[in-house]
Amino acid sequence: MNQILLVEDDPMLGTNLKLNLELEGFKVDWAQNLAEAFATNEQQPYQLALLDLGLPDGSGLNFCRSVREKGSRLPIIILTAQSDEDSVVEGLSAGADDYVKKPFSNREVVARIRAALRAPTVREEQIRVGNLLVLMEQRRVYVGQEEIPLNRREFDVLKILIARPGVVVTREMIITQLGDSAEHIFDRTVDSHVSHLRAKLKKAKECNIRVKSEYGVGYRIATLD
């Protein structure tokens, strides 16, 4: 079942859209402002977003830009009462895939959703552990809207650890998986990279992921209770 994130502050329109989309076989989560949209999108992988532009706490374009800046190919259809060409162009420039002008029929919205879902998309591999989002191809790491800046080795170590969350990874395994230059890496070097990684995760606001040490063995990724 395709899961849709509906972002719409109008209670009547939101209720109607949610009901009709569910009757069409979609699962719908409804956010009524920008803050809810960001929070809900971080909790659940969606197949498509229906996005109103005029929200009480900001423009829906901010959500669209943020999603695209993180490398997500999530199909986004804008719902807008603004009929001028500039608004439509701005939305598409921000990364939206399509738009529907209000007032619209439910049949039109459903048709555009099905068309967007049929369109071929190439989705970047993403790994989420706790509230940590890792974009593998871009080698970028986020907690909410905050990006955690990691250097090449720190990211490589994190990638190895998050592949087995909760499982102890030995220093020898980390050295082996670091690649062609592994012969130049020693236990103390791994410890140094892990120390820097641990400090950056701890410094990130609201990050609930920590790198735990298993004395004499290695490290593991753990989620704070």
> In 3D, which of 43, 105, 45, 106 has the Cα closest to residue 75?
45
pTM summary value: 0.58
Tens of pLDDT, residues 172-184: 898 888 865 545 6
* Identity of the amino acid at 181: S
Q: What is the pLDDT of residue 182?
A: 46
- For 16-26, what is the mean pLDDT? 95
Cβ neighbours of 122 (radius 10 Å): 5
Tens of pLDDT, residues 186-213: 667 888 999 999 999 999 888 999 999 9
Q: Which residues contact 175 (CB under 8 A, 6 or more apart)?
A: 182, 185, 186, 187, 190
Name the DSSP letter for residue 220.
E
At residue 118's C-alpha, the angle toward residues 115 and 123, to 5°, is: 125
Q: What is the pLDDT of residue 120?
A: 60
* Identity of the amino acid at 64: C
Contact 173, 157 (CB under 8 A): no
Pairing of strands 54-55, 58-59: antiparallel
Domains and CATH numbers, the chain: 3-118 (3.40.50.2300), 126-223 (1.10.10.10)
Tens of pLDDT, residues 67-119: 887 778 889 999 887 666 667 767 777 888 888 888 889 999 999 999 988 87
Q: Which residues contact 111 (CB under 8 A, 6 or more apart)?
A: none
- For 2-23, what is the mean pLDDT? 95
Cα dist from 112 to 83, 86, 94, 99, 131, whole Å? 18, 21, 19, 9, 32
The two three-digit tokens of residue 149, written as one number: 């800046």
Cα–Cα dist 136/155, whole Å = 9
Cα dist from 158 to 53, 116, 136, 176, 186, whole Å? 36, 34, 11, 14, 17
> In 3D, which of 49, 84, 82 has the Cα closest to residue 67?
49
At residue 184's C-alpha, the angle toward residues 178 and 188, to 5°, is: 85
Contact 70, 137 (CB under 8 A): no
What 3-state DSSP class applies to 127?
A: strand
